[in-house]
Amino acid sequence: MVKQRKGTAETLVPQTSLSLGEIADALEILAGTGVILKVDDEHYEISARLFETWVSHQTSYR
pLDDT tens, 11-43? 999 988 999 999 999 999 999 988 889 999 999
- What's the pTM? 0.72
Q: Are 9 and 27 in contact (CB under 8 A)?
A: yes
Class for the domain spanning 6-60: mainly alpha
How far is 35 from 38, CA to CA, in rounded Å?
A: 10
pLDDT tens, 1-13? 556 778 999 999 9
What region, left, alpha or beta, does residue 9 occupy, with left being phi > 0 and alpha being psi -120 to 50 degrees? alpha
